[in-house]
Amino acid sequence: MKSMEIAVYGKGGIGKSTISANVTTALAKQGVRVLQIGCDPKHDSTRLLMHGKEIQTVLDYLKDHDKHQGKLEEVLYTGAYGIGCVEAGGPKPGVGCAGRGIISAFEFLEIHHAKEAYDTIVYDVLGDVVCGGFAVPVRREYADAVFLVTSGEYMALYAANNILRGICNYDRDIYKRVAGIIFNERKLADEEERVMRFAAAVDLPVVARVPRSEAFAIAEREKCTAMELDGFPEVQEVFASLADRICGDLPLYAAKPLSDDELEQVVLQPGRNGQAALQPGKTGQAVLETGRNEQAVLQAGGSGQAVLQAGSTGQAGRNERDTLQTGRKEKAAWKDAADNAERFKGQTAENTEKRWQTDAGQRTVRKTLYGCAFNGAATSAVHLTDAHIIAHSPRSCAFFTWQNISSSGRKNLFNRGILMPSAISPNFSCTEIGQTEAVFGGTEKVREAVLEARKEKPGAVIVISSCVSGIIGDDVRSLEELSTPEMPVIIMEADGVIGGDYMEGIRLSLHRIAEKLIDPEVKPSGRCVNLINEAGVSNNVEVNYRIVENLLKQLDIRINARFLGDTTCDRMKNFLAAPLNILAADSPDGRELQTWLEEKYHCQFAQSCLPVGFRETKRWLYEIAEEFDCVDRVPAILEKEEARYREELEKLRPYLKGKRLLMTTINTNMDWLLETADDLGMEVTWIGVLNYLQMPLHISNHDRFQRLATEEVSVPIIQEQIQKTKADIVLSNYVSLIGEGDFVKDSLSMTQVIGFRSGLHVLEHWVELLKKKAAENAAAEYTADGNETVQNDAAGNAADETEAAQNAATENAVSGKAAASDAVSGNTADENYTEGKNASENNTGKGGWQDDKQLFEQYFG
């Protein structure tokens, strides 16, 4: 038997769970490995299969466990005949969104590959398609076939018709996935005729007729299925026949729902002589199968009489069915794009930093999320400069994300004259989800946004979902069907904080962009490299790009693509043309991305990341040159750079030689700075390490620096060490807390300037701070001297003499300020640039929120 997934739908209380459990048991008795998943908050679908034992639901389990770190065996149980049993569960009535709960439960089961050990999956779903969450099992990436359970009651038939509408929304007139109607008798007047008229009108067969029998009441008391009882062969034959049908060449049909008026005419207002007022579907036939080898065809004719024809061919209706094989092909095509994303989720589940911890009382505590996956995905995706990014979110979410993206770009432009197109003017729009979409769904709205964006002819359209769209279960993945080879539609189901934190959003963005854009047929060629995992938001990103671009240019090597810095869709498609890839920085996220690219695309990576500091840059140049067989070019580059380095050291030496340096840092190699300070004759007195990376302590490759490092660090300890070592310069992450004194203090950027001059940039700033400190001291001293002169003159001189003394004091104060100004004006051009930069940053901060809001309004109306 081919593996398949079956969804059983019907009105609440119609008997879906009983029928599902008996069909599942019938399949299991034939040797089929079956998993039944209850998708109702009542979580009673598998009760009979478990012989009355209540099992933990997936959603109750996820209250205390992260979906990536949880254990499948704690929600997957084994029932009668080895049947797998899972209950999705749901929130308390009237609280939250139970439909979103179904989505979360399915995500957990997919992440942990719950279905892989089974041949058939049976989804027993809540009574009606009330929202996108409960419609998940009927989506094409899940259900191969859908059975409708109904009686002859009008509301039961109404629910069945409503389910057909839901299926039609997904399948339109393209796919055929309805397996037929299961008629669960209630022994009502005109019941059979009603069901048959409805079946004929929607062009579906009645594949099973479940008689009203005491077998079900007995089974309920015995806490088992009717298939496990003795003495009820008629009932058991129904389910055995249905199992045979499922295991065979199962015919499938298109969903053809009726309008409300049409349904009422068919069910409640039949025409004269019993003929339905509404003509039946294309063939005018409905199949009623009541036995394993029997079949009855109800033909609706002009007289309205039913003609029962016995047969054994298993065929019904002309041109109205599809085979399981075709259905699986359609499903495979639909799932193709989803598989890679799920594989990504599975890989990152092991590599991502755990966001759950257990405290002393064994209570699970979730770590703080730093930003959300929606924000991270958007911040990363905008670096595809010719793509159109659609935020499927409320307006406020889009605003805060846009502000986060554009603020660094504006600062770089205003302060440094560096243009970052993706940040200054991101091609970013928003669907503006509101209350209407939250209640009724926003898929059509985002579909319209995609169609509108395509008119601009971007390189790609990227849709990123937020919390709201994730909670209401919008089927954004279906928008991938709008893709063309020239203009792919890339869906990022970030779902805001539901999808995780900021970094998880970046990971999702990188993987989806790679999977959708990289052409696997492209072969390495030419002298070029790719830059991998540059920092998303940092003032030094574009500076570093210019530096590495210049270094590589001297080796006659160009940059092919930036994954993901400002680049284009075409460059990403040609990603594999680069024979070598270079990580921007050594980090867990970067190494994880490297491993993924190596495994998926067989990419070759340089051993070293982008270099920071003179000695590291020297080694890096030789490494890259060896890869491209141009080592002979390196000596000339080094000769020029070393001369420049020594020249700049000599300019700084008078200010820094002999100065005592105290520093705190994260746990990373700091030789690029320590070696430069050592070259100038500075004294490193103490190094406090903030080991938040939880890695072995390693600050330097030099023993004398490594011996100075300690993880015992706090603000009081830093203050104590400053006094003890008489530090002149304090480099610390706590600059605002350690107080003032006869020292200058500075902090480091998270992303350092790369290349030969990394350490020099920092030390130049220290000289600047020392000059400023000296100028301030000089100004204070001149002011103090002037005040003392005023006081002396006032004590023994006349009023006019006192006035003259005051004028002299004022002149002294002004002279002091002038001296301070002269000291600062003696800066180098780079120092003056930094002064102007700081002033510009201070001015930029004023009214920034209002400025951002006005800019945002320009883009979003």
Catalytic residue positions? 11, 16, 42, 128
Four-CA torsion 267, 269, 273, 279, nearest 10 degrees: -60
Closest CA to 200 of 251, 263, 149, 155: 263
Determine how many CB atoms are found less than 10 A away from the CB of residue 554: 16
Closest CA to 478 of 162, 141, 178: 141
Cis peptide before 451, with omega less than 30 degrees from 0? no
List the Cα angle 142/254/265 in 5-degree steps: 120
Task: Pull the structure tokens for residue 620.
Answer: 């890096």
- Cα dist. 700→373, 428, 705, 714 in Å? 35, 43, 6, 21
Sheet holding 528-532, edge to edge: 558-563, 528-532, 580-583
Closest CA to 101 of 36, 57, 165: 57
Spatial contact of 312 and 294, defined as CB atoms under 8 Å apart: yes
Task: Pull the structure tokens for residue 552.
Answer: 């590589």
E strands along 644-788, which residues?
A: 660-666, 683-690, 709-710, 729-731, 744-746
Spatial contact of 210 and 235, defined as CB atoms under 8 Å apart: yes
Give Cα 77 distance to the centre of its chain: 30
Task: Pull the structure tokens for residue 512.
Answer: 């989806």
Q: How far apart are CA 861 and CA 854, in angstroms?
A: 10
Could you say which DSSP state residue 259 is in?
P
Which amino acid would we find at residue 665?
A: T
Alpha helices by DSSP H, listed for 172-323, are 191-201, 214-222, 233-247, 260-268
Q: Across the strands, what pairs with 390?
A: 429, 463
Q: How far apart are CA 568 and CA 551, in angstroms?
A: 22
Q: How far apart are CA 119 and CA 121, in angstroms?
A: 7
Q: Across the strands, what pairs with 178?
A: 146, 253
3-class DSSP state of 576: helix
Spatial contact of 660 and 726, defined as CB atoms under 8 Å apart: yes
Alpha carbons within 13 angstroms on the beta-carbon side of residue 295 total 17
